[in-house]
Chains A and B, each alone.
Chain A
Amino acid sequence: MVGLPYDCLANPLGAVRLTFEKAVASGYDPAVLQGKDWGAAELFRQFLSDDDYLSQVPMLSPSTLKWVLPNSLVRFRGMIQDMLGNEFYVGAYKNGDTWRTNKFADASHSPMQTSLDMQIWERHLLYCIPVPGQNVWAESSQEAVRYPQTNLISLQRDKRPREDEGIMGDVDMMEFDANEDSQNSKKMREDDSSLEPLPMPQTLSVGTFSNLSLVPDTDRNTFSCLVKMYDTAESEIKLNDIFEFVGILTYDSELPENRVDNDEFTQSICEDELVHMPPSKVPRIHCITHRKLAANDFLSGPALELMPNTAKELREALMGHLTTVLGNDRVAAQYMLLHLLSRVHTRVDSVAVGKFSLNLTCLNKESMPVFGNNLKLAIESLLPLTRTLPITINYLNTISLTPKKDYNTNRLAFGFLQLAEGSHLTIDETQLQAGTLNATGVDNARVLKSLIESQMVEYDFTYYKMEMPVDVQLLILSEGKSHILPGDLILPLRPSSAEAPLTVDEDILKAWRWYLGTMKSLSHSIDPDMQKVVEDDLVAARRADRSLGSMEFSRLLTMGRLVSISFGESHLSKEHWQMVKELETIRKERLDEKV
């Protein structure tokens, strides 16, 4: 090959093989090293460190899936929805006198029965789904990269799905199988040329393609990916983390229909991913490198430099926008900004420090369609991961909010509250009417309450429950104060106009997104003198009003922190503390006048 020694993009397995052979030749003993990396991952890491190359790696999504070739390098961004444990595989085996490896592959290409010595290695299986609540703008930035890739594989174009196939509707399953089989046998004959086009996506794409334009969301929701991780300690990976995986895409050549063994035993032992995740629906990625993503990684465009002035200007502009959205209620906009900047930064015992859930009240049937909707759109355009949960009696009684382990499939069934860190959740209570909750409803209400109060979501494992810490910004919209969903802060909305907010320029939006993402992650501290001031204020406040407790103090301090980071500052200043107190005074007045 010219230029690069290995074709990492189109034939990554070849590169893996070559490096392996090289490593073995230079003394790497597969029997001893138990599958430890021999330099292949390093090779890819170097290759991908170049942005040009990285951008050539196609991002796997329902739309790209139909043309990406199997056994080529792909990227995938997803949230770990379930961890399926370890898988043992034949990592290396001796074919004659030479060692071969199966790392980063599903099945060995050359028949193994002649091998006399084999090594069993292990890898982790992760079940990943597209990040729940990811907004369209956060996605589009990734998919742009697919285009450079097209010409790379154009030589194989004849096999690509043709547009007109869309009209044909469903391809007969039998035909598909036949296709598949011939493909397999061909594969065997042709040694292991991995540049072969993929027959599988034809069927898949026909379906997906026609669906895509109509209901992209359902398609997105059913899309999932089984990632096989190598050389990574399990402790580094956590449920609900968002990762970008770069790895080799494979489809198992078998279909569950092909399995003839009806031996109950074998089935019950190997059922899991084969039966419930047919490879034709769930692509596999053999991960070579991975990177944990934070919400900020979803932003596109250049990062701005953090200057006090930029922060202030952006803050002002964003405040203006939020004020319009909230019907000219500047106080509400202030609180909303703080809310959007909040995150759980520490946990002490059961206390999640830093959470700032906001309960906007005075939203009734008339005002909700206007402001609720504007607000929803505004938040969606500002934060990468947002979801909305409109609750009604019926809804609470029927849905399952929490993830639940399904022991029949041995999978964790997705629940609405399985959210990635840093997601934003709007709970719309305005539609909730009086009525009776059944056991499910009570459970759901309890789960929501615990989410709001302690930022914990209970996962149901049937025989026991497991609490998972989360970091979700919660906005509650209700008519009156919600006792079911006790937000940290209750604020009656006082809109004075109902004009629709102007459409915002994409560049400005980008800047705002950057602002929210960056300020949110700022670290924050307090000077000793200021600490004294704050303490004195708190003591004085308590003397004036005995009903103030740790909850109120906590809220004040959270606000203090949020106000100062909203100005891009990492120290609480007197001025900002003063601002917090003023805001709270205004809010109290509002609450009182209501009663």
Chain B
Amino acid sequence: MASGGGPPSSPDDWETSPIGNTFSSPGGRGRPKRGRRSSYATPPPAQSDSRFATPGTTPPSSGAANTRRGRGRRSSANPTGVATPSSTDDAQPSSEAGDADEDEAPPMYVWGTNISVQDVNAAILRFLRHFREKPQQIEGKYMMAINHVIEVEGDSLDVDAHDVFDYDTDLYLKMVRYPLEVLAIFDIVLMDMVSRINPLFEKHIQARIFNLKSSTSMRNLNPSDVEKMISLKGMIIRCSSIIPEIREAVFRCLVCGYCCEPIVVDRGRINEPTVCGKPECLSRNSMTLVHNRCRFADKQVVKLQETPDEIPEGGTPHTVSLLMHDKLVDTGKPGDRVEVTGIYRAMSVRIGQTQRTVKSIFKTYIDCLHVKKTDKSRVDVEDPMETENGVTAKDSEPVIDFEDKVEQLKELSRKPDIYERLTRSLAPNIWELDDVKKGLLCQLFGGSALKMPSGASFRGDINILLVGDPGTSKSQLLQYIHKLSPRGIYTSGRGSSAVGLTAYVAKDPETGETVLESGALVLSDRGICCIDEFDKMSDNARSMLHEVMEQQTVSIAKAGIIASLNARTSVLACANPIGSRYNPRLSVIDNIHLPPTLLSRFDLIYLILDKADEQTDRRLAKHIVALHFEDPENSEQDVIDLPTLTAYVSYARKNIHPKLSDEAAEELTRGYVEMRRRGSFPGISKKVITATPRQLESLIRLSEALARIRFSEWVEKGDVTEAIRLLEVAMQQSATDHSTGTIDMDLITTGVSASERMRRENLVSTVRSIIMEKMQLGGPSIRLLELLEELKKQSPGEVHLNDLRNALATLSMEGFVAVHGDSVKRV
């Protein structure tokens, strides 16, 4: 008697549909009022006039709701709880005897609570009328929203729970604790207001609450949350097909054609009339369902799964079922991350149709009130490369997923040593190489891409090449960046093809060694493509990279169709020097055996040379020993952990789009001019080009990335200075002409330094004079080795056969000599 709760008492209500019972008609509101304490143990008693499904509850349906409650102990649990003055035409008190006492006695309380219906009603009214976001607003936020809803004939009003909280904390708490009751009142108030503004407006407007103060994690849902309003985040993994749910059924007599009044679904069942309602007919069992006159509502069951970041180690993700109604149906598709606000419900499961015992198990689900799509937690995918993208990103809803996090990140970004700190946090296990790490950091953040109206575009991606001795943790750096970067791809240059998903297992016929020629270079659009063993990449695949690195597209020719795909990717490659160790006497080109055209497309080229340094060796040894024998916990401090770092990078890439300040632009010009000027030494006639326009572009990208690191919208002078420094460090290592010790971009662009060029020219002229001297026009040919002997006599220093060949090639191009195999002939 004391409760509307408890398990269903008759076999027919076991299959009640568990849709929400936040009825807007007062008749339907009885149960929660009485059965507060244990109501969650009851399958929700009805679905016919759920607010989710039936807009515009009409008196007939509320009448039906009343009738069906007139059974057993429920009847008394059925006071017209929300017979508020405002709900004029719906507030017909039910005729049930048990209600009388409560109907008369104001104030009314929701059973088992101290919630007074009138108070809540008034509070909601106050909130809707008076809430303003800013005091100077003339009309309340929600009054405007209501008017808007009426105008567009919408059927729901989104209510930000934060607003409720700010305006009336008490109301908020009540709403979260007793959502069924409070929302029902909310709806009634809304309807009332709407009918006052526009009496002709017939649609039923529902309040959809969203943005609760606190959101629960799926893992922490427990029995005490049942029947509470909760909000949680997750990923949709499965959507059921849309289930049409019958709301009102109409039957027609097969004998006389009489149609009965619409019969409202009562607890999942339709009481099919057994006798024709027409007094003249009264045929038995003649009524048949008329499908197209019935009313159906959409319903969908959606499975929501925990997002990966909430799963503790060694756990599997939890799932929860969501019940969506009407407009919410199909709001998300599998794979979407959403934040859901709804009421947590439990439904008991029956053992079988014929058995009376209820299985003691409850199935839980969430009755959805509001679904909000959240952005991906790794904000990487929509990296706004194109301006139009950037705009839409700003228009879309804010990243609520991240609000707290963003605050943290911003805080972090304000730290003065953020640059250093990030550098330190990048691959903390690899020491030194600080400048390399800084370069990598810039690559992670990236510059801004620019698309000119003319169609020309400037990439924002920074490409980096690491060249170095084996065992200098190049690969580890690559692996680390790969792990950190969004959509990163790690591949080994060995046997990579540019596109395609397949791979080939190759077996060395002699040794039996197996190699996987991985299908690797499935390009990582908007990510970082890490290519290990770049030098071992096939020419074919490499030529593809030319296009990728400058045009940012990749062309595939298949079956006569040439497709151009976007490949807006940064390339991080590492290569071993030819002959396994770097030969400082040779140029970079000679060392890595890469075409200069490709090389020049790298913004930064770092040489990681393994200098035999006992100090470093010892440190490495110490580290490894510590790794194996000591507690590694205390080894690293003050570094930013990987998830934060990822979030930081993602956030910056997505939200920060630095522009050049005038000061910075000036500094750039100055720096660039300076770099170029450095090429011409006073007193030296030869011209060494130190910097090229490509380097200027690199400088811009680098400074933009540096500004991003600070979360700054403006590139400042300091950024440019640092960018220049980074570029110089990289160039000093790679573009140093080892014979003169100066930076020479020609080394990169042609592979030949200026002094080398000079030497070659000298050689050519020497050879020319020798040939002029020794040989007759059209005379007998001379052997290459003899020529070399002669050459060695004349010119000081070492002359290789190769050099001679080169010189001869030049001469033969001039038409001065003809070279056939080993013999040279003057022509």
User: Which A residues are closer than 8 A to B by beta carbons?
Assistant: 34, 82-83, 85-90, 102, 105-109, 111-113, 115-122, 184, 188, 234-235, 238-241, 252-254, 258-261, 263-266, 268-270, 346, 348-351, 353-354, 361, 364, 393, 405, 407-408, 410, 412, 429, 432-439, 441-442, 445, 461-464, 466, 468-469, 478-484, 524-526, 531, 534-535, 538-539, 542-543, 546-550, 553-554, 557-558, 560-561, 572, 594
Q: Determine whether the beta carbon of A184 is less than 8 Å from that of B355.
A: yes
Q: Determine whether the beta carbon of A445 is less than 8 Å from that of B516.
A: yes
* Given A435-B504, A466-B308, A469-B313, A481 and B511 contact (CB-CB distance below 8 Å): yes
Closest residue on chain A to residue B221 by CB atoms: A86
One of A90, A436, A463 near B504 (C-beta < 8 A):
A436
A354 to B318, CA, bound (A): 32
Interface segment out of the listed B6-14, B399-407, B599-607, B734-742: B6-14
One of A120, A239, A531 near B346 (C-beta < 8 A):
A120
Contacts of B100 in A (CB 8 A): none
**Is B222 at the interface (CB under 8 A from chain A)?**
yes
One of A102, A437, A539 near B617 (C-beta < 8 A):
A539
Q: Determine whether the beta carbon of A546 is less than 8 Å from that of B469.
A: yes
Q: Determine whether the beta carbon of A433 is less than 8 Å from that of B243.
A: no
Contacts of B237 in A (CB 8 A): 407, 462-463
Q: Determine whether the beta carbon of B351 is less than 8 Å from that of A539.
A: no
Q: Determine whether the beta carbon of B360 is less than 8 Å from that of A102.
A: yes
Of listed A261, A351, A558, residue having the most chain B CB within 10 A: A261
Contacts of A558 in B (CB 8 A): 628
One of A102, A109, A263, A483 near B514 (C-beta < 8 A):
A483
Contacts of A268 in B (CB 8 A): 240, 301, 321
* Given A120-B40, A266-B15, A557-B624, A429 and B514 contact (CB-CB distance below 8 Å): yes
Contacts A88-B223, A265-B17, A539-B614 supplied; 11 other A-B pairs, CB < 8 Å: A118-B41, A263-B15, A263-B268, A351-B627, A353-B627, A432-B505, A434-B506, A484-B516, A526-B629, A546-B471, A549-B470
Closest residue on chain B to residue A540 by CB atoms: B617
Contacts of A393 in B (CB 8 A): 505
A545 to B632, CA, bound (A): 28
A119 to B221, CA, bound (A): 16
* Given A88-B346, A550-B620, A269 and B301 contact (CB-CB distance below 8 Å): yes
Closest residue on chain B to residue A463 by CB atoms: B335
Contacts of B305 in A (CB 8 A): 461
A572 to B399, CA, bound (A): 54
A348 to B245, CA, bound (A): 55
Distance in Å: Cβ of A580 to nearest Cβ of chain B = 12
Distance in Å: Cβ of A90 to nearest Cβ of chain B = 4
- Please give the number of chain B residues whose Cβ is less than 8 angstroms from any Cβ of chain A in the complex: 108
**Is B610 at the interface (CB under 8 A from chain A)?**
yes
Closest residue on chain A to residue B614 by CB atoms: A539
Contacts of A364 in B (CB 8 A): 512
Q: Determine whether the beta carbon of B352 is less than 8 Å from that of A463.
A: no
Q: Determine whether the beta carbon of A270 is less than 8 Å from that of B363.
A: yes
**Is B513 at the interface (CB under 8 A from chain A)?**
yes
Q: Determine whether the beta carbon of A88 is less than 8 Å from that of B361.
A: yes
One of B41, B621, B629 near A553 (C-beta < 8 A):
B621
* Given A85-B318, A269-B321, A107 and B516 contact (CB-CB distance below 8 Å): no
Contacts of A484 in B (CB 8 A): 505, 514-516
Contacts of A89 in B (CB 8 A): 360-362
A87 to B347, CA, bound (A): 11
**Is B316 at the interface (CB under 8 A from chain A)?**
yes
| Contacts across chains A and B counted by CB atoms under 8 Å | 297
Q: Determine whether the beta carbon of A442 is less than 8 Å from that of B515.
A: no
Q: Determine whether the beta carbon of B512 is less than 8 Å from that of A526.
A: no
A429 to B353, CA, bound (A): 56
Q: Determine whether the beta carbon of B17 is less than 8 Å from that of A263.
A: yes
Q: Determine whether the beta carbon of A261 is less than 8 Å from that of B617.
A: no
Q: Determine whether the beta carbon of A112 is less than 8 Å from that of B470.
A: no
One of B359, B513, B516, B519 near A106 (C-beta < 8 A):
B359
* Given A120-B41, A547-B471, A238 and B614 contact (CB-CB distance below 8 Å): no
Distance in Å: Cβ of B503 to nearest Cβ of chain A = 5
Q: Determine whether the beta carbon of B624 is less than 8 Å from that of A554.
A: yes
Distance in Å: Cβ of B368 to nearest Cβ of chain A = 14
Q: Determine whether the beta carbon of A468 is less than 8 Å from that of B612.
A: no
One of B15, B315, B470, B519 near A83 (C-beta < 8 A):
B315
Q: Determine whether the beta carbon of A118 is less than 8 Å from that of B38.
A: yes
A395 to B81, CA, bound (A): 67
Distance in Å: Cβ of A107 to nearest Cβ of chain B = 5
A235 to B219, CA, bound (A): 11
Contacts of B365 in A (CB 8 A): 269
One of B18, B318, B353, B621 near A261 (C-beta < 8 A):
B353
**Is B581 at the interface (CB under 8 A from chain A)?**
yes
Contacts of A350 in B (CB 8 A): 479, 483
**Is B129 at the interface (CB under 8 A from chain A)?**
no
Contacts of B321 in A (CB 8 A): 268-269
Contacts of B318 in A (CB 8 A): 85-86
Q: Determine whether the beta carbon of A34 is less than 8 Å from that of B223.
A: yes
A492 to B461, CA, bound (A): 46
**Is B452 at the interface (CB under 8 A from chain A)?**
no
One of B311, B358, B362, B516 near A120 (C-beta < 8 A):
B362
Contacts of A535 in B (CB 8 A): 618, 621-622, 625
Distance in Å: Cβ of B317 to nearest Cβ of chain A = 7
Closest residue on chain A to residue B268 by CB atoms: A263
- Can you spell out 14 A-B residue pairs with CB atoms less than 8 angstroms apart? A90-B41, A90-B361, A90-B362, A107-B358, A188-B357, A238-B313, A259-B352, A349-B428, A434-B506, A481-B511, A484-B514, A484-B515, A549-B470, A561-B629
Q: Encode B444-464 as 1/0 by CB contact (under 8 A) with A.
A: 000000000000000000000
**Is B288 at the interface (CB under 8 A from chain A)?**
no
One of A111, A122, A349, A524 near B222 (C-beta < 8 A):
A122
A238 to B226, CA, bound (A): 26
Q: Determine whether the beta carbon of A117 is less than 8 Å from that of B3.
A: yes
One of B37, B502, B508, B511 near A439 (C-beta < 8 A):
B502
A354 to B351, CA, bound (A): 52
A270 to B627, CA, bound (A): 49
Contacts of A260 in B (CB 8 A): 352-353
**Is B655 at the interface (CB under 8 A from chain A)?**
no
Q: Determine whether the beta carbon of B223 is less than 8 Å from that of A546.
A: no
